[in-house]
Amino acid sequence: MPEIIQIDQSVITLGQFLKHATIISSGGMAKPFLMDYTVWVNDEPDNRRGRKLHPGDVIKVEGFGTYLLESAQNEDN
């Protein structure tokens, strides 16, 4: 079962996601991290730190786990 990661925006980049999910500690670590680890977005490999992610996307990070993006804004409605 994937870990739920809630975001306040409608779009987040892969680099921002890695920091938000506490996989990396700073945005500057995104590029080297993506060179060393395989990341799958909706079952497709992707290493672009600027890749746009949306609520409902499933991100698998080699060695770290599987995550589901969810909009935090939905809880207020």
Of all residues in the chain, the percent with pLDDT exceeding 90 is 88
Contacts of 22 (CB under 8 A, 6+ apart): none
State the residue range of the domain holding 27.
3-71
pLDDT score for 77: 45
pLDDT tens digits, one per residue of 27-48: 899 999 999 999 999 999 999 9
The pTM of this model reads 0.88
Rg (alpha carbons) of the chain, rounded to whole number? 12
Angle (nearest 5°) at CA 63 between 41 and 35 = 65
Contacts of 2 (CB under 8 A, 6+ apart): 58, 65, 66, 67, 68
pLDDT score for 73: 75
How many domains are there within the chain? 1
Domain of residue 67, CATH code: 3.10.290.10
pLDDT score for 74: 53
**Residue 47 in domain:** yes
Mean pLDDT (whole number) for 11-30: 95
Q: Which tokens is 38 given?
A: 């395989």
